[in-house]
Every structure is written in structure tokens, then in C-alpha cells.
Amino acid sequence: MKRIALILMIAALAGCGADGAPWTPSANLGLSIGTGGVSTGASLGASNGTVSVGVGI
């Protein structure tokens, strides 16, 4: 029981004091129709102003 209480206390402390700007999510969906047919695309990402990460398919 003490271990569970310790783990919960550490998780609560770690979650309440994050430094820096919050991460802003972004998403983009695309649909193109042309002579070659229909093509689709999608991208997901997140940015905090300084760092940006994303994936496109």
C-alpha cells in the first residue's frame, strides 16, 4: 500500500509543475483530384514555439 501511495504522489508532483510553453497540436487532411486520379494526404504534429515535431502520411 505504501508503494502505491508513493507512486501516486510522485506522479502528481511530476504532472503539476511542467516548465515551458504548452504543446499545441496540429492536423492537416488533404484531398486532391487531378488527371492522375484522386490522392489523399494527412499530417499530425505538435509545436511549443521552439520545437516542432510531426509525421505525414
The CB-side HSE value for 6 (13 A sphere, CA atoms) comes to 3
Q: What's residue 50's pLDDT?
A: 83
Number of C-beta neighbours around residue 6 at 10 A:
10
Predicted confidence (pLDDT) at residue 38 exceeds the cutoff of 90:
yes
Q: Is residue 34 part of a domain?
A: yes
Q: Which has the higher per-residue pLDDT, 12 or 54?
A: 54
Greater confidence (3 vs 34) lies with 34
Question: What residues make up the domain containing 44?
Answer: 21-57
Average pLDDT of every residue of the chain:
84
Confidence (pTM):
0.51
The reply to whether 2 falls in a domain is no
Cell numbers given for 45: 504534429
pLDDT digits (tens, 9 = 90+) for 20-37: 677 889 999 999 999 989
End-to-end CA gap in the chain: 46
The total number of structural domains in the chain stands at 1
DSSP state of 23: P
